[in-house]
């Protein structure tokens, strides 16, 4: 607050501004995952996303050498003309990246850096140097699933990175990746809780523009309930911040057939539209087979935007009576059980994982208690098989039946099989959801 007691106007960054304009227009903002090694390829990709027939923001996804801080290997690969699975922003440097964005003719186009690093300080410095103002991740969501980095180190590194971003870029935007957690089989209440907790962490370390994520799971009605809970909790815990919700198209094993993959993509766009979700990060039908091309991504962005425009709600999409409230309470209990452990949200997070009050099912990180298990119930919803020491109750219908190896394989490919099968059934060809994709 200023001396006069009035809130100081905060400069909106380009990313936050793009979200605000999409919201005002009542349109879903769509975004790819896209990263190429060279300036030419990456610049062309950004331009194509900018020019797509959809309301888009751009993405620069970084390569895995950069993610683990091995910038020397990234540099050598660039010099040798070898392929990398993303854009090595540190090896290229801020000036080169800045010029690339200018040359792509996308001045003013909002671009987010996506990376996956538990120790992101160098990456954040590079994106600040490049004049960018948005990135994503989080101390838990980029530590537990993909690294061996101790959680306390990731918490410290993310605290410093948030502060650097907040100090150097007024209006900077940061998205929590907490709504993903291994991509599949994490019940929604924990995804929602982790997103909100990471949002609180970002807030505590100086960010004012924040997004909370949720990845499409196995049941449309359950996802509707989860997104309602996420929105309600964000309003309660992030009051005063500029926040929005971002949905990820399914992050697990993707359908193999093109019609199946497109139906899943369109379902995610419809889910975003009917829940008032502001932004969607898409997947492409190429997903199950190879790294998507620029054209794959543009097609997916346009497909998703069209599906969101035409989205309709049916009786079958609605959660059960009380389902959204139950999910909200379960997520709130997880948040509260964490926050009460320490006044500092970073320390509270490490304490909660150490005690198993937060415990991601099937996550093998040494700082995860590994006492929880989940399953997909008969109606396709994700449920807790065992809740370990978390303050939630396991599903009653299951008893103590442990999840076996074969069942795990079945659950991992549940969405893939469901959508591939539906796409192959003759009757499915006449359903509106599938017909649109063949136009």
Partner 1 sequence: MSAAPAVIAPEPLPSTTGRRRVLVSSVSSDSHTWNLVFLQLLLEELGHTVTNIGACVPDDLLIAECRRHRPDMVVISSVNGHGYLDGRRLIARLRAEPDLAGIPVVIGGKLGTRGAEGGSHASELVEAGFDAVFEDSAGIGEFRRYLAAPQTPALHHDTPPVPVP
Q: Distance between CA 227 and CA 274 in Å, rounded?
A: 10
What is the chain's Cα-based Rg? 21
The reply on whether position 54 binds partner 1 by CB under 8 A is no
User: What are the start-end ranges of the H helices in 256-371?
Assistant: 258-274, 294-309, 323-339, 345-355
Window of 100-108, 196-204, 329-337, 397-405 that interacts with partner 1 by CB under 8 A:
397-405
What is the dihedral sign for C-alpha 14, 17, 21, 23? positive
Least distance CB 68 / partner 1 (angstroms): 9
Per 3-state DSSP, the chain is made up of helix, strand and coil in percentages (nearest 5) of 50, 10, 40
Least distance CB 146 / partner 1 (angstroms): 5
Which helix or strand (DSSP H or E) is residue 385 part of? Answer: strand 382-387
Least distance CB 402 / partner 1 (angstroms): 8
For residues 323 to 362, the per-residue mask of contacts with partner 1, x marking binding by CB under 8 A and - elsewhere, is: ---------------------------------------x
Contact 247, 268 (CB under 8 A): yes
The CA distances from residue 30 to 193, 272, 303, 414, in Å, are 24, 10, 10, 26
Least distance CB 353 / partner 1 (angstroms): 15
Between 83 and 336, CB nearer to partner 1: 83
Q: Which of 90, 126, 210, 363 binds partner 1 (CB under 8 A)?
A: 363
Q: Which of 25, 96, 364, 424 binds partner 1 (CB under 8 A)?
A: 364
Between 62 and 280, CB nearer to partner 1: 62
Of the candidates 228, 288, 235, 229, the residue with the CA atom closest to the CA atom of residue 415? 288
Helix (H, G, I), strand (E, B) or coil at 24: helix
Counting every residue written for the chain, the total comes to 439
Between 130 and 403, CB nearer to partner 1: 403
Between 182 and 392, CB nearer to partner 1: 182
Q: Which of 11, 76, 168, 409 binds partner 1 (CB under 8 A)?
A: 409
Q: Which of 405, 426, 427, 432 binds partner 1 (CB under 8 A)?
A: 405
Q: Distance between CA 284 and CA 296 in Å, rounded?
A: 6
Least distance CB 428 / partner 1 (angstroms): 28
Number of shown-chain residues binding partner 1 (CB under 8 A): 16
Q: Distance between CA 150 and CA 397 in Å, rounded?
A: 36
Between 244 and 414, CB nearer to partner 1: 414
Pairing state between β 242-248 and 279-281: parallel
By CB under 8 A, the residues from 165 to 194 that bind partner 1 are 182
CB-facing half-sphere around the CA of 120: CA atoms within 13 A: 28
Between 402 and 424, CB nearer to partner 1: 402
Q: Which of 30, 104, 403, 423 binds partner 1 (CB under 8 A)?
A: 403
For residues 125 to 164, the per-residue mask of contacts with partner 1, x marking binding by CB under 8 A and - elsewhere, is: --------------------xxxx----------------
User: What are the start-end ranges of the H helices in 146-218?
Assistant: 151-168, 188-204
Binding site for partner 1 (CB under 8 A): 145-148, 182, 362-366, 403-405, 408-409, 412
């Amino acid at each position: 607050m200023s001396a006069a007691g009035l809130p100081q106007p905060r400069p909106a960054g380009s990313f936050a501004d793009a979200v605000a304009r999409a919201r005002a227009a009542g349109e879903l903002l769509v975004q790819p995952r896209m990263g190429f090694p060279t300036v030419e390829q990456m610049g062309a990709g950004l331009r194509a996303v900018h020019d797509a027939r959809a309301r888009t923001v751009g993405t620069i996804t970084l390569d895995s050498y950069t993610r683990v801080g091995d910038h020397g290997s990234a540099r050598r690969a660039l010099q040798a003309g070898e392929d990398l699975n993303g854009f090595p922003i540190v090896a290229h440097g801020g000036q080169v990246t800045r010029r690339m964005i200018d040359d792509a003719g996308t001045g003013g186009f909002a671009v987010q850096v996506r990376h996956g690093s538990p120790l992101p300080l160098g990456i954040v410095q590079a994106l600040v140097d490049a004049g960018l103002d948005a990135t994503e991740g989080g101390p838990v969501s980029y530590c537990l699933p993909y690294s061996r980095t101790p959680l306390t180190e990731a918490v410290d590194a993310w605290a410093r990175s948030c502060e650097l971003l907040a100090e150097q870029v007024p209006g900077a935007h940061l998205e929590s990746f907490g709504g993903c957690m291994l991509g599949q089989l994490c019940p929604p209440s924990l995804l929602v809780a982790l997103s909100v907790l990471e949002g609180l962490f970002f807030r505590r370390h100086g960010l004012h523009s924040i997004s909370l994520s949720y990845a499409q799971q196995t049941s449309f009605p359950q996802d509707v309930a989860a997104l309602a809970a996420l929105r309600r909790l964000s309003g309660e815990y992030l009051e005063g911040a500029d926040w929005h919700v971002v949905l990820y198209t399914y992050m697990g094993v993707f359908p193999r057939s093109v019609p199946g993959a497109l139906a899943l993509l369109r379902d995610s766009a419809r889910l975003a539209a009917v829940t008032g979700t502001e932004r969607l990060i898409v997947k492409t039908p190429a997903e199950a087979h190879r790294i998507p091309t620029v054209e794959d991504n543009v097609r997916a962005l346009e497909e998703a935007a069209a599906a969101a425009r035409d989205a309709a709600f049916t009786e079958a999409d609605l959660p059960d009576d009380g389902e959204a409230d139950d999910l909200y309470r379960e997520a709130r209990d997880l948040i509260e059980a964490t926050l009460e452990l320490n006044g500092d949200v970073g320390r509270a997070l490490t304490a909660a994982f150490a005690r198993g009050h937060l415990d991601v099912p099937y996550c093998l990180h040494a700082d995860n208690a590994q006492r929880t298990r989940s399953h997909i119930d008969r109606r396709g919803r994700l449920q807790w098989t065992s809740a370990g020491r978390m303050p939630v109750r396991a599903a009653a219908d299951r008893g103590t039946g442990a999840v076996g190896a074969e069942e795990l394989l079945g659950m991992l490919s549940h969405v893939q099989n469901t959508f591939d099968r539906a796409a192959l059934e003759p009757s499915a060809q006449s359903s509106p959801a599938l017909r649109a994709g063949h136009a």
